[in-house]
Structures are given as structure tokens and as C-alpha cells.
Amino acid sequence: MNTAKQIVPNEIVYLEADQNYSILYLNNGRKSLSAFTLKHYHNKVEINHFLRIHRSFLLNPNHICNIYKVGRVTFIEMSNGKEIPVSRRKKTLVENL
């Protein structure tokens, strides 16, 4: 995991919470570990358009490929193939996309 290089927000596919850390998944397939929480990133001006669709995920809307339902659960498929479940409280946000 590389944290020395400055990451451009458009390179980020999504961020995942890992306790008090965040894992940034990049469009080149690499991961970067950060010592900040998702709340810290969600308040940043550069990525304030990212979607907090779950307590553990912050998604770049430019990398959303598909939104689908399996039963009552809504999933979002990202450009890297990751399928992320949407929390019940954020379902209306996703439906408005």
C-alpha cells in the first residue's frame, strides 16, 4: 500500500472504513491506507460529491457501473467489479440517482 504519492480524487473508486483508518481503492487496482476516518474524507471539498451509502463506504459516483436489487437489498457495482450493499437508510438517496 502506497501513501507517499498524492492521490487525485478522480483516481479513487471508493473508500472503505477499517476502524479508525480508511482504505482508498484506486482505479489502477491499487489500494492506499490512510490514517483518517471516512468522516474526515467526507468533509473534504475535493470529494464532497462522493456518496456515503453505508457506514463503511464512500463511493465516487463517476465509477458507479450498475445499481440493482436482490430481494430487499440494493447493491451498487463499481468500475473495479466490487459490489457494495446500500444501507436501508440510504436507499432513497441511491434511488434518486
In a structure prediction context, what are the per-residue pLDDT tens digits for the chain, which is 97 residues long? 444 467 888 999 999 999 999 999 999 999 999 999 999 988 887 888 899 999 999 999 999 999 999 999 999 999 999 999 999 998 888 878 7
Q: Which CATH number fits domain 9-95: 3.30.930.10, 3.40.50.1950, 3.40.640.10, 2.40.50.1020?
A: 2.40.50.1020
What is the pLDDT, as a whole number, of residue 94? 83
pLDDT at 2: 47
- Cβ-contact 54, 86 below 8 angstroms: yes
**Among 90, 89, 86, 87, CA closest to 78:** 86
Residue 42 is predicted with a pLDDT of 85
**Domain range list for the chain:** 9-95
